[in-house]
Structure 1
Amino acid sequence: MGESWVPQPVTTSSSVLLWAALLCLAPVVKSNEPPKALLTLEPPWINLLREDNVTLKCEGFQTPGHESIDWFHNGSAMSFHQDSYTIPAVNLKDSGEYQCRTEQTSLSNPVQVQVTSDWLLLQVESLVFMEGDSTTLRCHSWKNKLLHKVTYYHNDKALKYAYECFDYVIPQMNYTHDGSYYCVGHMGHNIHTSKIVMITVQGGKSSVMKGLIIALVLVVVIAVIAAAALYYYKRHKTTASDPEALGSTVVESSVSYSLLKHTDTPEEEESGRRNYQSYQ
């Protein structure tokens, strides 16, 4: 008589492995959304002093004869529809988030513009950079007043001193450039200090270490799950394919229980009772 097939129970570990395999093998769904428009600033600084000028440019594929551009400021549509938008003298109300799109593109990534009223400003092209990016820092005075004896600071340590105001260039960003920046300069006989600007560098040494640690933990977890699933599978398979072993185990357990329950013979029990009565 052939062995009957016994269905194996599905364990939680097996379910986890099954879902992980399905996710890994799932095809990548291609998006049918149009490409995003690209919004740039000229000059490239995202932080400005009151009465500075700036031009916003929207770049994206356009059908000849169709030059309509949609502009948005803080989520509200603007009445301007050209491919570039110039603000000759920015004010505080011009601060906020800008986006644009063409007829063949979707909304651009938002660009934050911050306008402040101050004597001195450290201008930056972005607040977040990727490792390997290049950037320029600019110590900028209100209305471009004459500025001299300029010092740039990073995490309160002096980076560069120049009698005249020269930009500070970082050719290749890395994790050491993460932190706070400001500049100090002389305007006439007065010394002015800019507000601090926080710059974040992503993909640096710390991010790489975190990624390696996460990857190692995932490998260990997957290995433990796989080992547990294999153990349970072999255990259920052995039990299902050898019913005699299962029956003998039950019989042995019953015998052991009987022996533990009835350890004394009738004679031993009677002798014990007589000894107990004589003792009384």
Structure 2
Amino acid sequence: MGGLGVPQPFATTSSILLWVTLLCLAPAIRSSGPPRAELCLDPPWINVLRGDNVTLTCDGFQNPGQDSIEWLHNGSVLSIHQDSYFIPAINMEDSGEYQCRTEHTALSSSVQLQVSSDWLLLQVERLEFMEGDTMTLRCHSWRSKPLHKVTYYHNDKPLKYEFQSFNYVVPKVNYTHSGSYSCTGVMGHISHLSATVVITVKGENHRTVNVIVPILILVVVMAISAAAVLYYYKRHKKPAHTPDEIGRIEVENSMSYSLLKHTDNPEEEVPGHSTYQNH
């Protein structure tokens, strides 16, 4: 007999489990690399009006006096190497995705900056919040013209009225704060309405899902692999004998037993043989 090999089903199962384990551990492996740079906006709004001034700052491990920071706009490298990127009187073409990195950090998460041309804009710091976060909204006028009689709306229902323009702050948001927001305000003698901004508030269970999902995937794959192995062995297991086969085997065993019995006594006299010799 040759050496014992690893059954094919077990080899396949091991390969599957190995790949699933690597996929589940991929986020942890990636997190062990260099830290990400952090991109910040000043002012902190992700949506601005044409003509506003915007400053982007790249925070990360950087040696003093070295201009080795790389900036990207919509995936293209910019000819800017300072830790701050100032955009005066921003234009429509400045909209898009911004990222940065230093010589000691990985590429930062992207910041989507939206530039619009309008009289009034409801500004937000981001579009997604976690329960418990502080949310600040700002009703902003073109070229920061004086604005009064400001009203904030949530799902078309008025939230707050201010004779002068003030920010609308929610100290701790929850799922009821999800929905569409807008504002109205008067510039001079004309009332203006901002475009709608949709904000989503996610619960704490959203973070838990990011951890549980890979584990569930691993459990499901292990269960499927075990079922496949069981199915394989059931298909290749020697089938049980039918009643006809059992009867045939019993007859063959009986005949074999009779033959063996005579073979084991070769000197036993054949009937009539001794009588012939005596005569």
TM-score (norm 2): 0.68
Instruction: State the distance in 2 between where 1:16 and 1:150 align.
Output: 66
The 8 Å contact of residues 141 and 147 in structure 1, kept in 2 or not, is answered as yes
Identical residues among aligned pairs (%): 56
Q: Which whole-Å deviations, capped at 9, do the CAs of 1:208-257 have from their partners, x for residues lacking one?
A: 89x999x9999899879978977997x789x75xxxx9335344899xxx
Correspondent of 1:246 among 228, 240, 244: 240
The 8 Å contact of residues 175 and 204 in structure 1, kept in 2 or not, is answered as no
* Corresponding residue of 1:103: 103
Paired AA for residue 144 in structure 2? N
**Is structure 2 residue 119 aligned with structure 1 residue 122?**
no
5+ unaligned residues in a row in structure 2: which ranges? 1-6, 249-279
Offset of residue 82 of structure 1: 0.8
* Corresponding residue of 1:46: 46
Correspondent of 1:28 among 25, 28, 36: 25
- Kindly report the root-mean-square deviation, in angstroms, between the aligned alpha carbons of the 2 structures: 4.0
The 8 Å contact of residues 17 and 222 in structure 2, kept in 1 or not, is answered as no
The 8 Å contact of residues 132 and 173 in structure 2, kept in 1 or not, is answered as yes
* Corresponding residue of 1:178: 178
Q: Which whole-Å deviations, capped at 9, do the CAs of 1:159-201 have from their partners, x for residues lacking one?
A: 1111111111122232222221100111222110001111122
Offset of residue 115 of structure 1: 1.3
* Corresponding residue of 1:260: none
Paired AA for residue 78 in structure 1? L
Instruction: State the distance in 1 between where 2:189 and 2:38 align.
Output: 43
In the TM superposition, what are the counterparts of 1:83-232 in structure 2 within 5 Å?
83-203=83-203
5+ unaligned residues in a row in structure 1: which ranges? 1-8, 255-280
* Corresponding residue of 2:76: 76
Paired AA for residue 152 in structure 2? Y
Instruction: State the distance in 2 between where 1:157 and 1:225 align.
Output: 54
Q: Which whole-Å deviations, capped at 9, do the CAs of 1:91-125 have from their partners, x for residues lacking one?
A: 22221211111111122111111111111100001
Offset of residue 88 of structure 1: 2.4
Question: Secondary structure of 1:246's match?
Answer: coil
The 8 Å contact of residues 174 and 204 in structure 1, kept in 2 or not, is answered as no
Paired AA for residue 63 in structure 1? N
Count of residue correspondences = 243
Higher Cα Rg, which structure = 2
Paired AA for residue 102 in structure 2? T
TM-score (norm 1): 0.68
Instruction: State the distance in 2 between where 1:51 and 1:15 align.
Output: 64
